[in-house]
Structure 1
Amino acid sequence: MIRLSPRAPDSGPVPRLGLTRLTIAASGLLALLIGVAFAVLMWAIADANSSTSARRASRSALVEAGNLEQLVLDLETGQRGFVITKREEFLEPWQRARREFPEQERRFTETATSPSQRRIAEQIRQGVDSLVNDYSVPLVEAVRRRDATASGLAATAEGKRRVDALRARFDQYTADERAELAAREDAAGSNARRAVIAAGAGLAATTALVAGFTVLQHRAVVRPVRGVAAAAGRLAGGDLGVRIAPSKVAEIGALGTSFNTMAASLQDSRRRIMESVEAVHRRTARDLHDGAQQRLVSLMIGLRLARELVPETEPAATELMDQSIAHAQEAIDELRELARGIYPLVLTVKGLEAAVRELASRCPVPTVVDSDLDRRIGGAVESNAYFVVAEAVTNAVKHAQASQIDISLELGEALRIRVADDGVGGVGAGAAGSGLTGLADRVAAFDGTLTIESPPGGGTTILARIPVP
């Protein structure tokens, strides 16, 4: 709660500027304010154009880094399967990755956005080449020659060490690029806000000079106090994006600065929490994929090899082996579905549109996706937008009795999400369950809005609008 205390009496008289002198002074200040406002606006436009180009380059660098890292994972997965099974068909991802490495490395190094990033990119490229030429290819050739040392613990540990080192460098590269991107976006937003504040201050000063001392007093004192009260109400209602315009009165100006600082701190804290949650989900999904899932795959491969060694004259043993293989496959499928539900890999690699299309392809109800997304957006926004779509689709499948679901993604000044079904409808604010409440919370975390249209018998349409930095 913000409390306003009465101002302590001044110890002496406060010098005041007469109306005549105020008018004369305002005439000179008016021209100065207009010139400064235009200069700031021109500077803000130039800075915005420069920031847009830099952000586009950073997003391209992140995409190419993700593509190259995926190729490294495909190479390592194919190699591991071949080393374990000695079967050539497991080398298909390995061979495909080797074919695509030269072109992908070229794109990756060319999209580096700074000298430091180019140095890291070159280190990654050298590490990838070393992994392929100095380790992976000789290892595969040794396995083909039936060299017993190729499947030993030393060879496996060497491969894990190399891949872990590469992934650490990829993580450093991605983290540095995201930090640079965030810094550019913060600087651009700060510059834009300063430009808007400067233009607003110039307009307010012009109006005050024309209206006279009485109107000036009203605008400088009464209306700012009302604005503080309204902003406080919006802040209490969850709108952390509300800000108070600067005031010429010292006390109200200090209050507005404190209010804006508090609101900005709360907004940044909420954004960091969402980004931390998104990072934890991504890391958890990756750990499941690289850890338990890979061990289950190795277990199933071993069971299948063991099954081939059991003679058909032992029906009890073969039946037990078949059941174990089936259970292992079910566990792998369930683990993959769990990892996909926590954070789908395609969302990190290819973005929101590809992840939504994959979600639609797995939906038991026919689902159509219409999207005009032509660029990547912030990772936290993408993640939460994806889970908004996923929750809406899940609700439609479970409760709507629908025969078709339509998903629309539009990107302008904000990301607009529309999920509509032709089901029974009749979902109102009072009937919305925890699923739809979770949707509202996700959207509100990014200062967005959620609307539900669900007339009885007319299907349900969920509309979400999320501002995009």
Structure 2
Amino acid sequence: MRGYRGRQLGLTRLTIVASSLFALLIGVAFTVLLWAIADANSSVSARRASRTALVKSGSMEQIVLDLETGQRGFVITGKKDFLEPWTAARKAFPAEARRFTASVTSPEQRRIAAEITKGVRSYLNDYSVPLVDAVRRGDRAASGAAVAVEGKRRVDDLRAQFDQYMEAERVQLAERTDAAGANSRQAVITAAVGLAASIGLVAVVTVLQHRAVVAAGARRGGGRPAARGRRPRRRIPPSNVAEVGALGESFNSMAVSLQDSRRRIMESVEAVHRRTARDLHDGAQQRLVSLMIGLRLAREMLPATETSVTELLDQSITNAQTAIDELRELASGIYPLALTVRGLVTAVEDLASRCPVPVVVHSTYDRRISSAVESNAYFIVAEAVTNAVKHAEASRIDIYLDLTEVLRIRVVDDGIGGVDTATPGSGLTGLTDRVAAFDGKLSIESPPGAGTAVLVQIPMGD
């Protein structure tokens, strides 16, 4: 009886020690996990701040472009119509400057932002406003070559500062993205290690407790084995489940890698489109605008008797305006400027305004999201609208944009319906590829004669 009580005390001690170790392990694992989660949240917040800073710097740079373009057109032609973007930019500058300087993410970026704001203010107050006032007074010296050179130098300096600021912010964004990924992996590893250690500890304690109980029972029964001299019969047959699991994990890793590769390729293409559209807008389009202004000025300087020359100039002005419009459409098709500066909703509304079929945009959010997701969502909408215009014979298109944990896009038309998603060339291949690249879901409802509804859901990742 004493031996039995001694073994009961040993079993109790084993349970107490095992419970203490288990509690200690859980406490350490959760402490490390909470620390990793807090660090990951900090990295995510820093990434959002960097994205906001890039958006605000783009808005500030647009202010400079509007000031320079409107002022130059007014100086060359003397027409007040060219002052509309200049006046709007001048009015919006104080508020944009405050938002721009408030969005900085580091002391060095704060210094550069302060220099940019000071430079824009100096350009506006010391150069642009006096120049416009001089032209209004009829001062011929205001349109001299020296004044134009000074204005170009100031704008070039400001744009160089904007490029420096945005490049530094992109570097910070990349570093914060890497840090967020590392913190997320650390949190997952910590949770996995804690779970594995907990399972191992439970397994060891269970085995030890089982042996202690069996040994105590054997001693209580006289210590005689149940089947002396016989080998125990194997109860569980061998299995290759572990190998199948490893193979499944390999396929899952391959699928994740393929998904990431598709997303990186789409993001790279989006960046190339954005740079190309900006080069077209700031390069060829600006030169065509200057050419058209020069042609109009030459047209006004000719006497009315030179009919053949004036007709040729009128035709050239018309051709230049057509080229500007076509180039603007081309740049917008490659990557719309409104998408970079104002975001998805504004870009979709601009797309709707240029559609030959009446389009109504319904939106329930007004915040910015990842530029890659915004670009992908915009071109999904554009492709769905294009399909409706070309194939649906619709008289109205409705676009719904909703953002919660996922971005929901719904494009509905009142056309003929009957879309066959399995038919090659139905216009849905591009939609399918774009949605799949961001791990989204695509569904299409198109009963014959009752219109078509395209629903896309894209998960919002940090």
TM class, shorter-chain normalised?
Answer: 0.7 to 0.9
Native 8 Å contact 2:36 2:184 kept in 1: yes
What residue in structure 1 maps to residue 283 of structure 2?
291
- Structure 1 runs (4+) deviating above 6 angstroms are 22-28, 211-215
The CA distance in 2 between the partners of 1:223 and 1:117, in whole Å, is 55
Native 8 Å contact 2:37 2:187 kept in 1: no
What residue in structure 2 maps to residue 15 of structure 1?
none
What residue in structure 2 maps to residue 413 of structure 1?
405
Closer, same or farther in 2 for the Cα pair 1:148/1:315, shift >3 Å? closer
SS state of the match for residue 132, structure 2?
A: helix
What residue in structure 2 maps to residue 230 of structure 1?
248
What residue in structure 2 maps to residue 347 of structure 1?
339
Deviation at 1:52, TM superposition (A): 4.8
The CA distance in 1 between the partners of 2:121 and 2:242, in whole Å, is 63
The CA distance in 2 between the partners of 1:400 and 1:140, in whole Å, is 51
Native 8 Å contact 2:57 2:162 kept in 1: yes
Larger radius of gyration: 2
The CA distance in 1 between the partners of 2:175 and 2:441, in whole Å, is 26
The CA distance in 1 between the partners of 2:168 and 2:68, in whole Å, is 25
Aligned residue identity for 1:229:
L
The size of the alignment, in residue pairs, is 418
Native 8 Å contact 2:421 2:428 kept in 1: no
1:40 paired with 2:16, answer: no
Native 8 Å contact 2:420 2:426 kept in 1: no
Give per-residue Cα distances to partners, 1:6-51, cap 9 Å, x unaligned.
Answer: xxxxxxxxxxxxxxxx999986764344223322342244335434
Report matched runs for 1:50-129 at 5 Å. 50-129=42-121
Give per-residue Cα distances to partners, 1:250-291, cap 9 Å, x unaligned.
Answer: xxxxxxxxxxxxx3xx66655443333222211211221122
What residue in structure 2 maps to residue 258 of structure 1?
none
Give per-residue Cα distances to partners, 1:173-210, cap 9 Å, x unaligned.
Answer: 22322333343344234323432343344345545655
The CA distance in 1 between the partners of 2:175 and 2:76, in whole Å, is 46
What residue in structure 2 maps to residue 251 of structure 1?
none
SS state of the match for residue 385, structure 2?
A: helix
What residue in structure 2 maps to residue 428 of structure 1?
420
Closer, same or farther in 2 for the Cα pair 1:375/1:316, shift >3 Å? same
Deviation at 1:331, TM superposition (A): 1.4
What residue in structure 1 maps to residue 362 of structure 2?
370
Aligned residue identity for 2:152:
K
TM-score (ref. length: structure 1):
0.78
The CA distance in 2 between the partners of 1:340 and 1:85, in whole Å, is 27
The CA distance in 1 between the partners of 2:265 and 2:151, in whole Å, is 35
Aligned residue identity for 2:401:
L
Unaligned runs of 5+ in 2: 1-13, 208-235
Native 8 Å contact 1:422 1:460 kept in 2: yes
- Structure with greater contact order relative to length (CA < 8 Å, sep ≥ 6): 2
The CA distance in 2 between the partners of 1:292 and 1:379, in whole Å, is 25
Closer, same or farther in 2 for the Cα pair 1:23/1:316, shift >3 Å? farther
Closer, same or farther in 2 for the Cα pair 1:223/1:68, shift >3 Å? farther
Native 8 Å contact 1:30 1:205 kept in 2: no
What residue in structure 1 maps to residue 383 of structure 2?
391
Closer, same or farther in 2 for the Cα pair 1:228/1:441, shift >3 Å? farther
The CA distance in 2 between the partners of 1:142 and 1:281, in whole Å, is 40
Identity over aligned pairs, percent: 69
Deviation at 1:467, TM superposition (A): 2.8
Question: Which of the residues 114, 139, 155 maps onto 2:147?
Answer: 155
Give per-residue Cα distances to partners, 1:193-240, cap 9 Å, x unaligned.
Answer: 43234334434554565568999xx9xx9555434322443455xx32
Aligned residue identity for 1:228:
A
Native 8 Å contact 2:299 2:310 kept in 1: yes
